[in-house]
Structure 1
Amino acid sequence: MGDKHDTQSSSSSPKPPLHPVYTVSNIQHKIRVLDGTKVTYASWVRLFTLHTKTYKVLSHIDGTAPPEPTADNYIDWCEIDAHVLQWIYGTMSDDLLPRVLEDESTAYEAWQRVSAIFLSNKGARAAALENKFNNLKLANLPSFDAYCQKLKDLAGQLKDVGAAVSDQRLVLQLV
């Protein structure tokens, strides 16, 4: 009788531990929605990357090749990749989501599409943002706080396209 019990316990293998990615129920509680204005691309990338490291899924957005479809872990990889893809889609503004959303995409492919939106045509984006920054007037906004926030938002967007605004210039524009 004791032998039968020992045989059953030795033949059953322990379940693998739950992957950390499955513990995230709402990514928006951890990463704010990317809108390109209040939440800049650079800030979103830093937060998103931090979370992918924490939840052990960085390899899904950093260009690491997925396992071969014949590999034993391929199905698990696909499920985890779908979670990371949901994180990306779940942290896009309503305006950005249609530009990123595609059928049959991996998280890495979506990550690249987001990157292309914010990093392509840097010169033209920088010129348009510089124009907005230089022509922003306090009279056009409801309050001084709103004016300061708009300047800060534009400065963040300019930084995203490689045209960072110095603190001195920000103060001069404010004055």
Structure 2
Amino acid sequence: MTKDGVDTSGSGQQSGKPALHSVYSVNNILHKVQILDGVKVTYSSWVKLFILYAKGYKVSYHIDGTKPPAGTDPAYAKLCEIDAHVLQWIYGSISDDLLIRILETDSTTYEAWCRLENQFLNNKEARAVALEHEFTYLSLSKYESLDDYCQKLKDITTQLNDIGSTVNDQRLVLQLVRRLPVDYDTVGAYM
């Protein structure tokens, strides 16, 4: 701390007053992160966005598995308070169905983060089979527009990639063209 009260230690304190942690400035996480439902917002997209904001608000240590200080450490109480805020971010940015599956009393943010990850990444084989089936038999006739159809194919591709069943661009384009009706033969031949 310099004599004029400017913090040079990186602790965020000025003139002996503790600075308010940036986590307290977030009133509604939904202004930052969309609701994870696994359909409109995929798990990988949600995670990328959540991690971005966690880093920006300097709370990523709550979701990356960093060991908290001992319960006797003076910083422990403040860490628990901040952890409760970040946990509220998770609970507030997932669908009600997911919330019911991961909500537990006395949970830490990291524990909830891991339970949520398990919801999407466990049973990979069964999910891959179901998604592959949906991907293979998806057709334009089920959608109002070509854009909706393409977006759905892209969403399924993202979900397959999330669980390690990679769909490359060539396969995605071939699938798109293969399931187009005869009206789109010219477009399909061009692609």
Please, what TM-score do these two structures have when normalized by structure 2?
0.82
Deviations 1:101-139 (A, max 9, x none): 111100000000011001111111111100000011111
Deviations 1:143-162 (A, max 9, x none): 22221111111111111111
Equivalent residue number for residue 112 of structure 1: 114
Task: Spell out the pairing of 1:73-92 with structure 2 (5 A cutoff).
Answer: 73-92=75-94
Task: Select the residue among 129, 132, 150 that pairs with 1:148.
Answer: 150
Residues 26-85 of structure 1: CA deviation (Å, up to 9, x unaligned): 111111111112211111111111111111111111111112111111110110000010
Give the superposition deviation at 1:142.
2.4
Q: Which amino acid aligns with 1:66?
A: P
Q: Matches of 1:89 and 1:119 in 2, distance apart?
A: 18
User: In structure 1, which of residues 48, 51, 55 is the aligned counterpart of residue 50 of structure 2?
Assistant: 48
Query: Which of 53, 70, 73 in structure 1 is aligned with 2:72?
Result: 70
1:141 deviation in Å? 2.0
Q: Distance in 2 between matches of 1:158 and 1:130?
A: 8
Q: What TM-score do you get using the length of structure 1 for normalisation? A: 0.89
Residue identity opposite 1:137 in structure 2 = S
Amino acid at match of 1:149: Q
Aligned to 1:164: 166
Give me the identity figure in percent: 63
Aligned to 1:8: none
1:119-138 equivalence runs, <5 A: 119-138=121-140
Gaps of 5+ in 2: 1-14, 178-191
Distance 1:149 1:52 in 2: 28
Greater mean alpha carbon deviation, residues 72-81 or residues 31-40: 31-40
Q: Which residue does 1:57 correspond to in 2?
A: 59
Q: How many residue pairs get matched? A: 163
| Mapping for residues 91-106 of structure 1, pairs under 5 Å | 91-106=93-108
> What is the rounded CA distance, in whole Å, between the counterparts of 1:70 and 1:16 in structure 2?
20
- Structure of greater relative contact order (alpha carbons < 8 Å, 6+ residues apart): 1
